[in-house]
Amino acid sequence: MNNREELHNLFYYTYNEDYIEAPLTAVQLLWVNLIMDTLGALALATEPPSDELMKRAPSGRNGKFISNVMWRNIFGQSLYQLIVIWYLQREEKNLLQLSGLESDLVLNTLIFNSLVFCQGILKNYVFVAVLTCTVLFQIIIIEFLGSFANTTPLSLQQWFLSVFVGFLSMPVAAAVKMIPIGSN
């Protein structure tokens, strides 16, 4: 079986069992997008340029906007998050012994919470302050805004699991950075 067939099977069998509801709602996707945009903007705006960067020649109109290092990091984190979503959708009900009418809502809340915590931390104090606010808002969304955000309160074990899964993205990022890349 080649990679294309494996990718097809992954998506086909993940999303083609009669009808599977999407794990994230529009409000949840907007929240994750807001976090990613805010953190990305802060990373660009608050990190001072290094001397090496300031001495480098401009790349010109035909220069690549996304470098090979960026592509490697994007693909590494995307693959990790895809595997997390796939695994949680397939096995989490059994792993946490979820059953009953609320089991799908609890599962989708765990997926949403895990993805929010996959956003990582930098040493920049403004970035950490925004992440702290994000965590506080995430607690409010999960615990108190269930009908608006289509979430349900999580148990302490479920909170630990989703935060743990999210923070696993940091060692994944470190491992991905060890993958050698070409200069092109």
Q: Residue 51 corresponds to which amino acid?
A: D
Long-range contacts of 117-121 (CB under 8 A, 24+ apart): 117/162, 117/163, 117/165, 117/166, 117/167, 117/169, 118/77, 118/80, 118/81, 118/84, 118/165, 118/166, 118/169, 119/35, 119/36, 119/39, 119/166, 119/169, 120/169, 120/170, 120/173, 121/170
Q: Categorize the per-residue pLDDT at 144 as very low, low, confident or very high, splitting at 50, 70 and 90.
A: very high
Comparison of pLDDT for 148 and 11, the residue scoring more: 148
Six token digits for residue 137: 């808002």
Calculate mean pLDDT across residues 176-181: 86
Cα four-point dihedral sign 163, 167, 37, 76: negative
Residue 175 has pLDDT above 60, yes or no: yes
pLDDT at residue 12 tops 70: no
Confidence of residue 83 (pLDDT cuts 50, 70, 90): confident
For residue 10, pLDDT beyond 60: no
